[in-house]
């Protein structure tokens, strides 16, 4: 007869291993004004989160402000992650093996893993940008489908703006990346008092980055009011909806992704 105590040991091990694993990041909001600031040598950093999600092995978002012209270069950018660089304000220069590329305010760049990157403040005034990074466990299965470039830049000024009764929309991209089955990004403009849609759900995970104005995000029946620079993380299948609750138009990035099953 098998000793029941011997059966208990692997069960206990599995349980201890499971509780040691961090729980996936839940739907959450990060108000720009409430984020603590780390200052060092003319550079300010606001760390939003650094945590796994349901689909990503790790997901990290921070905002980096380059305040001083004497410290205009940022070099400590990890090369083992896929990342988005979104300019909040000012002008950035991305220096890589592809050469130098300029990003103006509200423009965004997709940087594939393995790319060594230096980031400069390309203007005379302070600039800030979102650094959005992620890893998945089996990224080697994927290759870019839309472009062979290791850095893809999407210039805000060149994106086609399509008006609608609620405001307008700029489509940025909808394609596979080196690590993601699909990455979809667009910029929504909502007129004062308008909502994008009623609360809904989808299997994709998503972030909202508020560029302008004030929004109210409804998550699981609870409203959250957020201003420019704020970030919203929406976990899979959580009911959510957004509306403009400020004066004038608001604008925000909506970024959604899926990974291979």
pLDDT in tens, 1-35: 444 433 333 333 344 444 457 899 999 999 999 99
Instruction: Please check the confidence at residue 259 and state whether its pLDDT lies above 80.
Output: yes
CB 188 within 8 A of CB 213: no
Highest mean pLDDT among 2-11, 96-105, 144-153, 242-251: 242-251
Region 35-64: what's the mean pLDDT?
Answer: 95
Lowest mean pLDDT among 10-19, 44-53, 110-119: 10-19
d(CA 66, CA 253): 22
**In the predicted model, is pLDDT for residue 115 greater than 90?**
no
pLDDT at 221 over 90: yes
Report H helices in the chain: 4-20
User: What band does 74 get if pLDDT is binned at 50, 70 and 90?
Assistant: confident
**Options 1.10.1060.10, 2.60.120.10, 2.60.40.1930, 3.40.430.10; CATH of 28-258:** 2.60.120.10
To the nearest whole number, what is the mean pLDDT of the chain? 88
Tell me what percent of the residues of the chain surpass a pLDDT of 90.
70
pLDDT digits (tens, 9 = 90+) for 119-163: 988 888 889 999 999 999 865 544 544 456 789 999 999 999 999
- Mean pLDDT for the stretch of residues 212-223: 98
Structure token digits, residue 100:
């130098």
User: Mean pLDDT across the stretch 203-226?
Assistant: 98
At residue 252, φ and ψ (nearest 5 deg) are -155, 150
Task: Report residue 116's pLDDT band, with 50, 70 and 90 as the boundaries.
Answer: confident
Tokens of 31: 């108000």
| Mean pLDDT of the 42-59 span | 95
Q: Where are the domains of the chain?
A: 28-258
pLDDT of residue 139: 54
- pTM here? 0.88
Q: 115: which DSSP letter? A: -
* pLDDT at residue 252 tops 70: yes
What share of the chain has pLDDT > 70, as a percent? 85
Calpha distance 91→229 (Å, rounded):
16
């Amino acid at each position: 007869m098998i000793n029941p105590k011997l059966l208990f040991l692997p069960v206990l091990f599995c349980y201890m291993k499971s509780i040691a694993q961090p729980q996936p990041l839940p739907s959450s909001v990060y108000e720009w004004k409430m984020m603590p600031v780390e200052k060092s040598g003319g550079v300010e950093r606001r760390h939003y989160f650094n945590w796994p999600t349901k689909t990503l092995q790790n997901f990290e978002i921070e905002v980096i402000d380059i305040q001083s012209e004497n410290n205009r270069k940022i070099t400590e950018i990890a090369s083992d992650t896929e990342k988005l660089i979104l300019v909040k304000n000012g002008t950035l220069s991305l220096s890589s093996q592809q050469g130098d590329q300029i990003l103006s305010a509200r423009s965004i760049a997709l940087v594939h893993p393995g790319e060594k990157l230096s980031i400069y403040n390309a203007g005379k005034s302070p600039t800030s940008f979102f650094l959005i990074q992620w890893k998945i466990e089996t990224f080697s299965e994927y290759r870019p489908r839309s472009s062979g470039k290791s850095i893809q830049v999407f210039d805000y000024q060149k994106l086609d703006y399509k008006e609608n009764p609620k405001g307008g929309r700029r489509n940025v991209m909808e394609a596979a990346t080196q690590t993601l089955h699909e990455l979809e990004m667009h910029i929504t403009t909502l007129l004062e008092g308008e909502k994008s849609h009623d609360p809904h759900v989808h299997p994709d995970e998503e972030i909202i980055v508020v560029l302008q104005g004030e929004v109210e995000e409804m998550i699981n029946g609870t409203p959250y009011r957020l201003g420019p620079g704020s970030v919203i993380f929406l976990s899979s299948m959580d009911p959510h909806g957004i509306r403009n609750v400020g004066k004038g138009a608001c604008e925000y990035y909506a970024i959604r992704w899926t990974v291979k099953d």
